[in-house]
């Protein structure tokens, strides 16, 4: 009895795994349905009602074309299982050189993230590879889709700004200037009243206290320079 129960459990696990695998339609199942001459409407209904995981890369599309899967079905496959890769000029040339129709090639471009090189030299290469003009035009009008540029997270210094350490000598001069400014608030510098003390020859470091009130020129002169100049 225990042995039969063990086999029953293993059977259920195996059955569920197989069922899950069958739930996700792949290219192989679509090609098999086409080979079995199942009508397009039935195949489309199956695609629209089932979980799908299709290979719609350049190689996958070539295999679908070889399996005679119609463009209508392939378009439905793009909707049910959007491609996740990024295509470039190389994939376009590969598809163009295969039996894949221009309609499907354009569908591939529109439904897939891409980054095309469309400089003059690249356009010459596309022409040499016999890529149709309508496809090349599509590439020129939409050269980049679904591709993001990585953000540079490194710290940058904005243009016009620099991180300069303060110069000690400048700081000293600034401090001296501040001290002089404070002194000038308390003192009357002789140089500021030069027009009133015209007989003085030496000007610059002579000062008189602001607390004193001077009257005539002679008194100010004598107070500032008692020994004369």
Give the chain's domain count: 3
Same domain (yes/no): 205, 192? yes
Domain endpoint, select from 146, 171, 192: 146
Sorted by sequence, the CB contacts under 8 Å of residue 7 that are 6+ apart come out as: none
Q: What is the pLDDT of residue 200?
A: 46
Cα–Cα nearest to 93, from 118, 130, 44: 130
Mapped onto helix, strand or coil, the DSSP state of residue 228 is coil
136 domain-assigned: yes
Look at residue 226 in the predicted model and tell me its pLDDT. Answer: 59
Helix (H, G, I), strand (E, B) or coil at 73: helix
> Which of 62, 82, 102 represents a domain boundary (last residue)?
82
With respect to residue 172, please indicate whether it lies within any of the assigned structural domains. Answer: no
Q: Report the SS3 class of residue 140.
A: helix
Instruction: Specify the pLDDT at position 155.
Output: 45
Confidence bin at 147 (pLDDT 50/70/90):
confident
Asked if 114 and 146 touch (Cβ cutoff 8 Å), the reply is yes
Residue 39 lies in a domain: yes
Residue that terminates a domain, selected from 126, 146, 166? 146
- The answer to whether residues 73 and 89 belong to one domain is no
Same domain for 74 and 102: no
- Does the pLDDT at position 197 exceed 60? no
Residue 68: domain span: 22-82
Looking at residue 148, what is its pLDDT?
72
Percent of the chain with pLDDT over 90: 53
Q: β-strands 187-189, 144-145: how paired?
A: unpaired
- Do residues 131 and 93 make contact, with C-beta atoms less than 8 angstroms apart? yes
Q: What is the pLDDT of residues 11-54, one digit of tens each?
A: 444 444 444 445 789 999 999 999 999 999 999 999 999 999 99
User: pTM for the full model?
Assistant: 0.56
Clarify whether residues 201 and 212 are in a common domain.
yes
Same domain, 92 and 142: yes
Is 212 part of any domain? Answer: yes
223: left (phi over 0), alpha (psi -120 to 50) or beta: alpha
Q: What digits encode the pLDDT tens for the residues 150-183?
A: 555 454 444 554 455 555 555 554 555 555 444 4
pLDDT in tens, 49-96: 999 999 999 999 999 999 999 999 999 999 999 999 999 999 999 999
Evaluate whether residue 131 is within a structural domain.
yes
Q: Do 104 and 125 fall within a single domain?
A: yes
**Contact indicator for 224, 208 with CB cutoff of 8 Å:** yes
């Amino acid at each position: 009895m225990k042995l039969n129960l063990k086999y029953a459990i293993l059977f259920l696990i195996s059955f569920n795994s197989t069922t899950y695998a069958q739930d996700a339609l792949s290219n192989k199942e679509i090609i098999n349905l086409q080979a079995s001459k199942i009508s397009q409407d039935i195949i489309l209904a199956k695609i629209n009602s089932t979980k799908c995981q299709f290979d719609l890369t350049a190689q996958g599309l070539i295999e679908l074309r070889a399996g005679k899967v119609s463009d209508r079905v392939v378009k439905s496959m793009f909707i049910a299982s959007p491609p996740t890769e990024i295509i470039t000029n190389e994939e376009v040339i590969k598809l163009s050189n295969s039996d894949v129709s221009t309609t499907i090639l354009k569908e591939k471009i529109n439904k897939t993230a891409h980054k095309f090189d469309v400089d003059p030299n690249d356009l010459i290469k596309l022409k040499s590879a016999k890529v149709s003009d309508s496809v090349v035009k599509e590439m020129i009008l939409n050269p980049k889709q679904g591709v993001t540029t990585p953000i540079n997270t490194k710290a940058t210094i904005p243009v016009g700004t620099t991180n300069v350490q303060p110069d000690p000598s400048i700081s000293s001069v600034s401090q001296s200037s501040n001290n002089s400014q404070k002194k000038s608030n308390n003192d009357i510098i002789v140089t500021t009243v030069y027009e009133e003390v015209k007989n003085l020859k030496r000007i610059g470091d002579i000062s008189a206290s602001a607390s004193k009130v001077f009257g005539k020129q002679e008194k100010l002169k004598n107070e500032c320079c008692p020994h004369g100049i």
